[in-house]
Amino acid sequence: MAFVLLFPLPLRAEQGLMRIDYPEFWPFFARQDNGEMTGFFYEIVTTALTEMGIAARWEAYPWSRCQTNVKNGEADAMITVPTSERLEYTQTHADPFYLKELKVFTYSGHPRLEAIEKIRTIDDIIAGEFSVVTYIGNGWSEKNLATRGVKIEASAQLINVWRMLAHKRGDIVIEWPIAAWPDIRKAGLEGQIVQTGVSLESMPFHLLVRKGSPHAARLDEFNRIILRMQADGSQQDIVNSYVSSPEN
């Protein structure tokens, strides 16, 4: 028996410590060169867990491996959009802690701005015969727009999307504001690009905890803390510390 104990046991999620597996993706979560974790998903979740008295260990893996590790019990949790497949082996809380919204942008002074601001669905884009500027390889646009006959103007470089929109090569751009505004500013186009209030799609991000993990029983408590952070503005303060607000 003593000989057997010399060999390390398989790495499993540790009792009392929540292991969260994540894919490196700025500004959600990333590890700096000095080893410190950063990212607004990391800070939001860590803030809530700390209030609950739960310590977490964050492990970076490719996304498919993250899901496999949670499913197999090597990790306790991951942060993603709940799906029926993922909920077969995980539990989650009632309310998303973050909505990744795809917003509609246009150029300043667009003659049909009022009609653009009335867009609610892709059907409205088609009916209004609006053209969309995007970048080559945008899977969402290929799946949801190009296949439905929406006129697409594509750029090989993401930053050139905003230059094309500013030069009226298309009517709108559909993009996540947090990713959009750094490029808009880099291109010096703040005064020429308008972010409308139109949201075409929202991706709800949750903390998904493996069924059987001791932490799964406390997801309601996590949800209550997240809702309070959203109500008192502390969650938005975290997000704003990573990304500046648009100045339209």
In a domain, 245, yes or no: no
Q: Where do we find the tokens 């490719």?
A: 62
In a domain, 162, yes or no: yes
In a domain, 153, yes or no: yes
In a domain, 246, yes or no: no
pLDDT the model gives residue 26: 83
Full-model pTM:
0.72
Alpha helices in the chain (DSSP H): 2-5, 40-51, 63-72, 113-116, 122-127, 139-144, 158-166, 177-186, 219-232, 234-240
Write out the DSSP string of 122-144: HHHHHHTT--EEEETT-HHHHHH
Q: How far is CA 14 from CA 73, 207, 240, in A?
A: 10, 18, 33
Percent pLDDT > 70 in the chain is 92
123 and 184 share one domain: yes
- Per-residue confidence band for 139, with pLDDT thresholds at 50, 70 and 90: confident
198 and 210 share one domain: no
**Enclosing domain of residue 157:** 100-202
For residue 47, the domain's CATH number is 3.40.190.10
Q: For residue 8, is pLDDT > 80?
A: no
> pLDDT tens digit string along 95-135?
999 998 899 999 999 999 999 999 999 999 999 999 999 99
In a domain, 3, yes or no: no
19 and 93 share one domain: yes
